[in-house]
Amino acid sequence: MLVCDPCYDTPQNQLRAIILPADPMPIVNPRTEPFADAETNTLVVSAGAPKDPTTGIPIYPTVGLVTQDGQTVTTQPIGAPTGFDQNAVMPLYNGVTYRVKLNPTSIASQTGNNVVTVTFPSAHNLNTNDQIAVEGLTNNLADGFYSITVTTGTAFTYQTNNAISAGNLLQGTTLMVTALVGLPYGYTQIPQTGPLT
């Protein structure tokens, strides 16, 4: 239908289809992070480095770093795990159930030792380097998130940062559950274990 200019029906902008922009904006040229190349396996000495006799520029010698399993990857950090909360343990991942309550008969330490031994009345069904989260022990230096070392079918150990005084650590308020914590590249164990004093 032909109409004159004063009768022309200009489309109403409010009635247009709404096109939402991307949020967030996509990366223009995405690439997978080269984690292996980005890892640091050496440090340099910053103080007391020898200087080149001609230029006077310091020559920093490199120092290899060794992890808990003997591989040169990064330093072994210590201290309380940052941001770990036993209540936030994921209950299910890839069909495996976590936050399963463990019921040990004893949790004990020996004098001057930072190894805690956990025993059960029956098989615990865990493997070495499986992870646990424990709270409510009589000594809070043994609380935290740990990778375990299985010693028998009914016992395992875990290592704390500090020596724990000898005695039974288990009490009525103790809660020990299985956990799954993401590990740094190249690590097989949780590198930070328990509170550091």
Residues 6+ apart with CB under 8 A from 55: none
178 beta partners: 132
Q: Is 9 helix (H, G, I), strand (E, B) or coil?
A: coil
Clarify whether residues 91 and 138 are in a common domain.
yes
Tell me: pLDDT of 46 over 70: no
Clarify whether residues 128 and 60 are in a common domain.
no
Clarify whether residues 175 and 126 are in a common domain.
yes
Clarify whether residues 66 and 105 are in a common domain.
no
Clarify whether residues 117 and 70 are in a common domain.
no
Per-residue pLDDT, 132: 94
Tell me: pLDDT of 196 over 60: no
Clarify whether residues 141 and 120 are in a common domain.
yes
Per-residue pLDDT, 99: 92
Structure tokens at 3: 């109409």
Q: What is the pTM of this model?
A: 0.65
Domain count, the chain: 2
DSSP 35: H
Clarify whether residues 109 and 160 are in a common domain.
yes
Tell me: pLDDT of 65 over 80: no
Element (H, E) at 37: helix 35-38
Clarify whether residues 164 and 139 are in a common domain.
yes
Sign of dihedral through CA atoms 173, 179, 181, 183?
positive
Residues 6+ apart with CB under 8 A from 17: none
Per-residue pLDDT, 50: 82
Clarify whether residues 131 and 96 are in a common domain.
yes
Burial class (CB in 10 A: 0-12, 13-18, 19+), 17: exposed
Q: Is 102 helix (H, G, I), strand (E, B) or coil?
A: strand
Determine, yes or no, domain membership for 54: yes
Burial class (CB in 10 A: 0-12, 13-18, 19+), 104: buried
Per-residue pLDDT, 98: 92
The CATH number assigned to the domain holding 161 equals 2.40.30.20
Determine, yes or no, domain membership for 101: yes
Q: Is 7 helix (H, G, I), strand (E, B) or coil?
A: helix
Residue 145: give the domain boundaries: 86-179
Clarify whether residues 67 and 120 are in a common domain.
no
Higher pLDDT, 43 or 141: 141
Clarify whether residues 147 and 175 are in a common domain.
yes
Give the pLDDT confidence of 156-174 residue by residue, as tens digits: 999 888 788 888 999 999 9
